[in-house]
């Protein structure tokens, strides 16, 4: 166990995108969740991710870094839990068309240096069928260790979760001066009812949007204040890319 990794946890700066309006998850109820400790030189940040094969974690492309260490089987990320598996990333595979300005194609596969041991605390989450649509009105869930309020910089030691509703694309209007001007319905999902006030937020990037027990979305971006809706990468669009990339890298 890398103790240095966990001492860093107290002063990690925030990544691009905790859960607003959520609650603590039942420990190890989401065995697919991954915590990503990311370094850019001497600077560190963190993201979420999710295990899709024994040696692959799916996350957002903007969660890249010079070095990434993945922690699986965690609930309280500041504690040395016996359930945790700490595995360095061998190689980062961001989508070749990722655009950091528009957030388009915000998806990345992380190839792990060794295979995860699957057990009750660490497991895989299924991916959707290619190009499957998740109709508006479906209630899904999101989880992460990120910030729980726009009014402080505190992220959560324990995994937080919230139920969020899939919204029509029109709820993320592409007004030139609005925050959703780069919204792309073919590669993104608009999620979270404004009135409910529940949303992913800074530090949750890369975590999964789980609908009907499949990973339909990846936390990507949203408003500076964490007000819903937030924007998620539409995983079903990228199933051919995910399958091809994993096939190419399998020994």
Q: Of residues 86 and 226, which shows the higher confidence score?
A: 86
- 118 and 147: one domain? no
Q: Which residues are catalytic?
A: 62, 106, 205
The reply to whether 105 and 143 lie within a common domain is no
The answer to the question of residue 134 being in a domain is no
Q: Are 31 and 123 in contact (CB under 8 A)?
A: yes
Verify that 65 and 175 share a domain, yes or no.
Answer: no
One domain for residues 120 and 144: no
Arithmetic mean of pLDDT, 68-75: 96
Whether residue 10 is found in the same domain as residue 93: yes
Whether the predicted model's global pTM rises above the 0.85 cut: yes
For residue 46, what are the β-bridge partners? 37
Residues 143 and 82 in one domain: no
In terms of residue numbers, what domain contains 93? 3-16+31-124+239-249
Residue at 185 is within a domain? yes
Same-domain pairing of 149 and 178: yes
Per the CB < 8 A criterion, the answer to whether 207 and 142 are in contact is: yes
Q: Specify the pLDDT at position 24.
A: 87
Buried b / exposed e across 131-142, counting CB within 10 Å, b at 16+? eeebeeeeebbb
Report pLDDT digits (tens) over 10-48.
333 333 345 656 788 899 999 999 999 999 999 988 999
Q: Which residue has the higher pLDDT, 172 or 226?
A: 172
Query: 119 and 164: one domain?
Result: no
**CATH assignment of the domain containing 199:** 2.40.10.10
Q: 217 and 193, same structural domain?
A: yes
Residue 189 counted as domain residue:
yes
| pLDDT tens digits, one per residue of 104-159 | 999 999 999 999 999 999 999 999 999 999 999 999 999 988 765 555 556 678 89
Question: Do residues 35 and 97 share a domain?
Answer: yes
Is residue 97 scored above 90 in pLDDT?
yes
Cα separation of 170 and 102, whole Å?
A: 18
186 and 99 within one domain: no
Give the count of domains, the chain.
2
- How far apart (Å, rounded) are the C-alpha atoms in residues 16 and 8? 18
Question: Does residue 25 lie within any of the structural domains?
Answer: no
């Amino acid at each position: 166990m890398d103790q240095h990794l966990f001492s860093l946890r107290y002063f990690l700066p925030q990544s691009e995108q905790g859960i607003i309006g959520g609650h603590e998850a039942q420990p190890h109820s989401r065995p697919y969740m991954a915590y990503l400790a990311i370094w850019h030189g001497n600077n560190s940040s963190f993201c979420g991710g999710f295990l899709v094969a024994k040696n692959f974690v799916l996350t957002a492309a903007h969660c890249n870094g010079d070095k990434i260490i993945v922690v699986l089987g965690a609930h309280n990320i500041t504690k040395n839990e016996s359930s945790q598996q700490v595995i360095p990333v061998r190689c980062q595979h961001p989508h070749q068309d990722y655009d950091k300005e528009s957030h388009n194609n915000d998806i990345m596969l992380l190839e792990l240096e060794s295979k995860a041991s699957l057990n009750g605390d660490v497991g895989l989450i299924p991916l959707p069928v290619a190009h499957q649509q998740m109709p508006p009105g479906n209630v899904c869930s999101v989880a992460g260790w990120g910030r729980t309020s726009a009014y402080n910089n505190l992220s959560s030691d324990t995994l937080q979760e919230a139920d969020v509703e899939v919204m029509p694309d029109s709820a993320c209007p592409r007004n030139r001066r609005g925050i959703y001007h780069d919204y792309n319905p073919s590669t993104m999902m608009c999620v979270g009812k404004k009135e409910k006030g529940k949303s992913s937020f800074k530090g949750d990037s890369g975590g999964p949007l789980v609908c009907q027990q499949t990973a339909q979305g990846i936390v990507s971006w949203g408003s500076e204040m964490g007000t819903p809706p937030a924007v998620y990468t539409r995983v079903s669009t990228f199933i051919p890319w995910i399958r091809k990339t994993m096939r190419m890298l399998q020994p």
